[in-house]
């Protein structure tokens, strides 16, 4: 059987291919596309019982109906998040849906700290200067993390890994989540209402999923509560931050810096080469012009360790489908007729 995978990145393809070859040998052939799944590319999946999707694919009602009509029965998403999938329609169509519920939390946590340090210590600006042999330190003054307060919004596996690193820096830990994590409490984290996290933190990092209740978690009110010299990092989902409110705050000269690995309108932009095109997204263009904002293209998860784990879990999800098994990765399982 041929299995089709959408949105496969160049560095991802060897890991995905090797994992499939070890698991399935000649039983299943993997066809990798660097195209994202949407209404224009969905005809390529015709006749494929198993489709592998990526986080930036569009699996709305129209695409899902097209897939189901042409023989798809399993959609295996190669990510933890699945807010790009119309779950109600998938359930209505009797599709099986799986995701990757876990991969290395250190990949994202470490990258979030890379953003925080790059913004806080002006590393990108310094690197640009030294490439032009400008070795002045004007405008590059940073500040110690030791003794300052970090707010961790979401203390699951990634948030806990982030907090562990913060503890190593000797920071005061504030946390916000629906439940307290004993591992974070053991680090000395104090769980407080989110208003206190915004008001008291020198650095805030977002590690919550994108849900209706967390959409625009960082809105105008939250930004108004933040210290004028605070740093904000988002390596989770773009929709957690109200971009218009963030731009208004930054234009007012507030916030020491912002590190964004995600953006709420990233679909159709991130993972693609737009260097020869006019950037039509004015909000993203404005963010990119600000000297205290660092934007990366949703790469926090992108390590050999994490991508390898994603490939292995995707293979297990396919094996579970053919064996009619469910697991913690199963989002929808139609069950017997």
Q: Is 172 a catalytic residue?
A: no
233 within 8 A of 206, measured Cβ to Cβ: yes
Q: Is 298 a catalytic residue?
A: yes
The span from the CA of 57 to the CA of 9, in Å, is 13
The answer for residues whose C-beta is within 8 angstroms of residue 273's C-beta and 6 or more apart is none
From 54, 79, 90, select the one nearest 268 (Cα to Cα): 54
Q: Is 266 a catalytic residue?
A: yes
User: Among 78, 148, 237, 256, which one carries the catalytic annotation?
Assistant: 237
Bridge partners of 98?
76, 330
User: Among 298, 312, 325, 333, which one carries the catalytic annotation?
Assistant: 298
Tokens 């504030």 identify what position? 174
36 within 8 A of 54, measured Cβ to Cβ: yes
The answer for residues whose C-beta is within 8 angstroms of residue 335's C-beta and 6 or more apart is none
Query: What backbone phi and psi angles, to 5 degrees, belong to 178?
Result: -75, -20
Cα 276 from chain centre: 26
CA separation (Å) from 78 to 12, 58, 180, 316? 11, 13, 28, 12
User: Among 12, 200, 264, 266, which one carries the catalytic annotation?
Assistant: 266
CA separation (Å) from 61 to 55, 131, 195, 237? 16, 49, 37, 22
Catalytic residues: 237, 266, 298
């Amino acid at each position: 059987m041929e299995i089709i995978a959408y949105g496969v990145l160049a560095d991802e393809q060897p890991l995905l291919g090797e994992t499939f070859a070890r698991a399935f040998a000649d039983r299943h052939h993997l066809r990798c596309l660097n195209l994202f799944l949407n209404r224009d590319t969905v005809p390529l999946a015709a006749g494929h019982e198993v489709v592998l999707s990526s986080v930036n694919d569009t699996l709305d009602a129209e695409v899902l109906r097209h897939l189901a009509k042409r023989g798809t029965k399993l959609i295996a998403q190669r990510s933890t998040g699945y807010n790009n999938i119309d779950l109600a329609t998938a359930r209505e169509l009797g599709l099986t849906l799986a995701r990757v519920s876990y991969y290395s939390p250190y990949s994202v946590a470490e990258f979030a700290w890379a953003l925080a340090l790059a913004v806080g210590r002006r590393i990108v600006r310094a690197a640009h200067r030294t490439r032009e042999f400008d070795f002045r330190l004007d405008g590059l003054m940073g500040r110690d993390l030791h003794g300052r307060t970090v707010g961790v919004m979401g203390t699951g596996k990634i948030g806990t890994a982030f907090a562990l690193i913060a503890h190593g820096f000797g920071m005061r830990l504030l946390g916000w989540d629906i439940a307290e994590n004993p591992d974070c409490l053991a680090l000395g984290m104090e769980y407080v209402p989110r208003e206190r996290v915004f008001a008291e933190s020198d650095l805030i990092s977002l590690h919550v999923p994108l849900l209706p209740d967390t959409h625009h978690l960082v809105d105008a009110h939250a930004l108004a509560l933040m210290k004028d010299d605070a740093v904000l990092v988002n390596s989770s989902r773009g929709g957690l931050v109200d971009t218009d409110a963030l731009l208004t705050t930054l234009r007012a000269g507030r916030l020491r810096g912002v590190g964004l690995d995600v953006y709420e309108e990233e679909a159709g932009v991130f993972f693609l080469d737009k260097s020869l095109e006019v950037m039509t997204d004015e909000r993203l263009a404005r963010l990119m012009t600000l000297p205290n904002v660092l934007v990366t293209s949703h790469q926090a998860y992108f390590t050999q360790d994490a991508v390898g784990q994603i490939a292995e879990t995707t293979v297990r999800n396919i094996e579970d489908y053919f064996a009619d098994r469910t697991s913690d990765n199963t989002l929808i399982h139609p069950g017997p007729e």
